[in-house]
Chain A
Amino acid sequence: MNKAEGLIIIPAYNEENNIFQVIQGIREYSQGLDIIVINDGSEDGTGGIASGMGEQVINHFFNIGYGGALQTGYKYALAREYKYVIQFDADGQHDPRVISTIRECLESGSCDIVIGSRFLEDIRDAGLFKGAAIRFFRLLIKFFTGERITDPTSGLQGLNREVFEHFSKMGMFPEDYPDADTLIYAIKKGYRVLEVPAKNIKRLSGKSMHKGIKCVYYVLKMIVSILVVVLRLKFEKKVMRYV
């Protein structure tokens, strides 16, 4: 049986230069929590380094995507009956000290989803394009849910069991970028979302997954996903009335 109540999920794809420091940082601030690395079909030594450090690693046979890797973590957490999960990116941009804050919020039961927000106070650090995209998604979230979410693209999140169980099901979580669309869905479903301040650390090494033409694709895809989520929720409500 598990000794820990919570699980830290680290989705990793070609992060051999960062993964060692990331795990070390997490270990320092996550006493009593288990760690799982989801090696999402990396072509480098990411999985080997993580397992060499004594951490549990799940190796995907091929690259599924960031969301797919997180969902594998949810499935594992559900099978091992963890009470909550904290997802932490392997690129070294998250501050591991925030883990204890997220953990406290989830253990107190005051919220269902905790987001480590990099822009709770100031968004200027985000850069021109990313800042504009984040502002746009903030507006959409506010419009559809009435909630103010300052960092809808943050990968540093904590989810309680009810939420990750819901997202672990087939077809309930996007396999590429789970961001504003997933948040809108969660808020509309009645899950309580809380943001805590999280300092953004400069990427240790490697490339961001939102680079070049992928940025444009990301924004377009996210707009479609948000519309689909809103329509789907409306459709579900209507069907529920007749079932």
Chain B
Amino acid sequence: MSEVLRIIILAMGALFVLLVFYLLVTRKIDERASLPWIATSMVMILLALIPSILQILASSLLIDYPPALLFLISNFVIFLLLLYQSIQISALQNKCKELAQNLSIINSTGIHIPKGQNLPKRKALEHFYFRNEKNVFLSNESKINIPF
């Protein structure tokens, strides 16, 4: 890797970290969502500082052209991040539907849905709770909603 390319990658990584922190400070992204992006930019910086890591990894995987490994890893990371975004969108859509339904009932009939009526049974919640404890990608909000 040439010196110029290393400097460019280093600068891109640093800029990316700064951008994520700017978004965090201006409350346009929350801490949990920022972690994968900070990690990605840290990897960029690390590879620019120690390019031999990529060469060692590539040769151990019998890849002749080390940048190909970089593309492979970055594609995989992007896929993971997209999947994570889809999970978030699905969760938000579910919450949005639930709010719209309850608000429509209140607005049209004046009936207030009792607290906890919309939530699945305790057993199901326990499953979600234990799973959330292990899985950092799932939202913390669902923990707050648990009525026990």
Contacts and interface: CB of A to CB of B under 8 A. Distances in A.
A175 B119 contact: no
A169 B120 contact: yes
A79 B108 CA distance: 14
B28 interface: no
Contacts of B102: 75
Q: Chain B: interface secondary structure?
A: helix
A170 B103 contact: no
Given A68-B97, A243-B126, A170 B120 contact: yes
Interface string A50-81: 00000011111110100010011001101110
Decide if the interface of chain A is mainly helix, strand, loop or mixed.
mixed
Contact of A58 (B104, B126, B127): B104
A82 B86 CA distance: 37
B27 interface: no
B123 interface: yes
B26 interface: no
A139 to B, nearest CB: 29
Interface stretch (B36-44, B50-58, B110-118): B110-118
B98 interface: yes
Contacts, number: 66
Interface residues of B, number: 26
Contact of B108 (A58, A62, A236, A243): A58
A14 interface: no
A86 B108 CA distance: 20
Contacts of A59: 104, 107-108
B104 A72 contact: yes
Nearest to B93: A175
A236 B123 CA distance: 10
A178 to B, nearest CB: 14
Contacts of B140: none
B42 to A, nearest CB: 35
Nearest to B101: A72
A171 B94 contact: yes
B104 A168 contact: no
Contacts of A68: 97, 101
A61 B99 CA distance: 11
Nearest to B102: A75
Contacts of A243: 123, 126-127, 130
Given A169-B124, A170-B94, A175-B97, 9 more contacts: A58-B105, A62-B100, A64-B101, A75-B105, A75-B113, A75-B117, A76-B105, A80-B111, A243-B130
7 contacts: A75-B101, A75-B118, A76-B109, A79-B113, A169-B120, A170-B118, A243-B126
Interface of A: 56-62, 64, 68, 71-72, 75-76, 78-80, 168-172, 175, 236, 239-240, 243
